[in-house]
């Protein structure tokens, strides 16, 4: 059997969708919410179901020709490792410097690793996106995002 990138992508997406569905089913509902047509589990379970269906379609329709055989040459695994480390730094920075600042630092670092070196472009591509996403989450969706331990420490909170 020939394994292609489509097969690997479909299998990874299938595993992620199954795990997302499992953890989505573990969401605790408020009493009485189980009788509502839409509750906290609805969207995660629907997304997991769609992910499972699409990944199975991907696996069933993937090309099996020798031309599309998996070839790992030309892939930059060092860059991928650097981006993964940057994600870990972002996760650790969230608690200390807050969502907005850590997101800007993450985006600037990601763009820099991918080859963009102009400071003006790095900031113009990062700050408006992070600020807009922060505004969407905090002001429109009313989700509380902690400002970070260092920020609250400096402000005396």
pLDDT tens-digit series, residues 82-108: 999 999 999 999 999 999 999 999 999
| Same-domain status, 60 and 101 | no
115 φ/ψ sector (left φ>0, alpha ψ -120 to 50, else beta): left
Please tell me the pTM assigned to this model. Answer: 0.65
Residues 136 and 93 in one domain: yes
Are 129 and 144 in contact, with CB atoms under 8 Å apart? no
Contact 82, 54 (CB under 8 A): no
Q: In the listed set 13, 39, 68, which residue is the last one of a domain according to the structure? A: 68
Region for 145 from its dihedrals, namely left if φ exceeds 0, alpha if ψ lies in -120 to 50, beta otherwise: beta
Helix (H, G, I), strand (E, B) or coil at 64: coil
Query: Which whole-number Å values give the CA distances from 17 to 10, 56, 116, in the listed order?
Result: 10, 11, 33
Residue 93 belongs to domain spanning:
77-154
Question: Does 103 share its domain with 134?
Answer: yes
d(CA 19, CA 6): 20
Query: Does one domain contain both 52 and 117?
Result: no
Instruction: Clarify whether residues 63 and 83 are in a common domain.
Output: no
Q: Provide the number of structural domains found in the chain.
A: 2
Same-domain check for residues 84 and 121: yes
4: helix, strand or coil: strand
Does 82 lie in the same domain as 63?
A: no
For the chain, give me the number of helices (H) and strands (E)? Answer: 5, 0
Q: What is the mean pLDDT of residues 15-20?
A: 97
Query: Per residue in 28-46, pLDDT tens?
Result: 988 888 888 888 899 999 9
Domain edge (last residue) among 68, 90, 109: 68
Residues 44 and 98 in one domain: no
């Amino acid at each position: 059997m020939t394994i292609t990138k489509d097969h690997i992508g479909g299998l990874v997406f299938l595993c992620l969708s199954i795990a997302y569905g499992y953890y989505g089913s573990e969401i605790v509902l408020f009493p009485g919410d189980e009788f509502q047509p839409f509750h906290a589990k609805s969207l995660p379970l629907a997304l997991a179901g769609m992910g499972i269906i699409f990944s199975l379609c991907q696996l069933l329709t993937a090309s099996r020709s020798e031309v599309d055989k998996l070839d790992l040459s030309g892939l930059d695994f060092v860059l991928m490792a650097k981006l993964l480390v940057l994600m870990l730094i972002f996760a650790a920075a969230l608690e200390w410097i807050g969502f907005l600042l850590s997101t800007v630092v993450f985006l600037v670092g990601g763009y820099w690793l991918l080859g963009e070196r102009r400071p003006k472009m790095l900031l113009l591509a990062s700050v408006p996106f992070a600020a807009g996403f922060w505004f969407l989450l905090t002001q429109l969706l009313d989700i509380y995002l902690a400002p970070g331990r260092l920020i609250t420490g400096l402000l005396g909170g």
